[in-house]
């Protein structure tokens, strides 16, 4: 039996085209016809290769995340001996790059945003697989940074502050109707610079929270 290369090629063309179209138009507005046209394949090819539009969508996600997980690991390549501030910096660096770096994650950042606004009931496990470890990592680092005086709510709020600073950068693309977050084209240099800023900003914020809570506890103690 002859193995035809165009079978695989056609599948990959579809994946690439789908990523672009899904990112640009969103799941709903994206049509299989458009995706097929962009991929240079015929209109039945989506169902042929992926069974349905849904499954194609999932496949796009999977591919994008696998790529991102490899290129930007959550620990940033640091070993366990690194200091908490260093590890926080690495985590932020990882998050930002996964979201913003087109060359790497493809259009997943854009799709992620849509998924946040319009969960497609189709993704589920993929997301959990990716998000859960990140959260655990973040909470570990934060625990160390906030110290023993911090309570669950401190932890959660700080987690929010940090993650949201990163996550919301995916808003950057909303071109027409919103003031764009970034005026310039996004380069790797800018991403790195922003990661550094968020790290600095957040470490200071965490310290402030730690100090305040410590004071409150001492005050409470003294009041008794």
Partner DNA sequence: AATGAATGAGCCTTCATTCAT
Partner DNA sequence: GATGAATGAAGGCTCATTCAT
Residue ranges in contact with DNA by CB under 7 A:
1-4, 6-7, 9-11, 29-33, 41-49, 51-54
- Only segment of 6-14, 54-62, 82-90, 151-159 that touches a second copy (CB under 8 A): 151-159
User: 160 touches which of DNA, a second copy, none (CB within 5 to 8 A by kind)?
Assistant: a second copy
Q: Which residues contact 201 (CB under 8 A, 6 or more apart)?
A: 165
Select from 103, 3, 20 the least CA-distant residue to 56. 20
The runs of H, that is alpha helices, within 3-52 are: 5-29, 32-39, 45-50
CB of 178 to DNA, least distance (A): 24
DSSP E strands, the chain: none
203 binds a second copy, rule: CB under 8 A: yes
The footprint of a second copy on residues 5-64 (CB under 8 A) is 26, 28-29
The answer to whether 56 and 121 are in contact (CB under 8 A) is no
Whose Cβ is closer to a second copy: residue 137's or residue 167's?
A: 167
How far, in Å, CA of 206 to CA of 67, rounded? Answer: 31
Structure-token pair, residue 171: 């808003």
Contact between 202 and a second copy per CB under 8 A: yes
Q: Which is nearer to DNA, 4 or 176 (CB)?
A: 4
Shortest Cβ 175–a second copy spacing (Å)? 7
What does the alpha-carbon distance between residue 134 and residue 18 come to, in Å, rounded to a whole number? 27
Q: Count other Cβ atoms within 10 Å, centred on residue 80.
A: 6
- Residue 130, token pair as written in the block: 């990716």
Residue 203's nearest CA partner among 165, 148, 169 is 165
**215 binding a second copy? (CB under 8 A):** no
C-beta of 4 vs 153, nearer to DNA: 4
- Residue 179 CB partners (closer than 8 Å, separation 6+): none
Site for a second copy contains 119 (CB under 8 A):
yes
Q: Of these, 47, 151, 174, 218, which contacts a second copy (CB under 8 A)?
A: 174
Chain residues that interact with a second copy, rule: CB under 8 A: 26, 28-29, 113-119, 121, 123-124, 127-128, 131-132, 135, 153, 157-158, 160-161, 163-165, 167-169, 171, 174-179, 181, 193-194, 197-198, 200-209, 212
């Amino acid at each position: 039996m002859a193995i035809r290369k165009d079978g695989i090629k056609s599948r990959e063309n579809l994946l690439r085209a789908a990523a672009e179209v899904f990112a640009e138009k969103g799941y709903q507005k994206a049509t299989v016809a458009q995706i097929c046209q962009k991929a240079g394949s015929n209109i039945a090819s989506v169902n042929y290769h992926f069974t349905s539009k849904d499954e194609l969508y999932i496949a796009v996600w999977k591919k994008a995340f696998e790529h991102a997980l490899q290129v930007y690991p959550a620990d940033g390549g640091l070993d366990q001996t690194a200091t908490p501030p260093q590890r926080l910096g690495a985590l932020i660096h990882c998050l930002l790059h996964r979201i913003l770096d087109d060359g790497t994650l493809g259009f997943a950042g854009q799709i992620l945003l849509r998924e946040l606004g319009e969960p497609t009931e189709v993704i589920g496990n993929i997301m959990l697989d990716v998000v859960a470890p990140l959260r655990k990592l973040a909470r570990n680092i934060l625990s160390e940074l906030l110290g023993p005086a911090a309570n669950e709510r401190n932890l959660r709020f700080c987690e929010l502050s940090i993650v949201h600073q990163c996550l919301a950068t995916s808003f950057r693309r909303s071109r027409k109707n919103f003031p764009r977050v970034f005026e310039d084209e996004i380069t790797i240099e800018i991403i790195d610079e922003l990661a550094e800023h968020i790290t600095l900003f957040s470490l200071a914020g965490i310290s402030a929270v730690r100090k305040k809570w410590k004071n409150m506890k001492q005050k409470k103690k003294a009041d008794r």
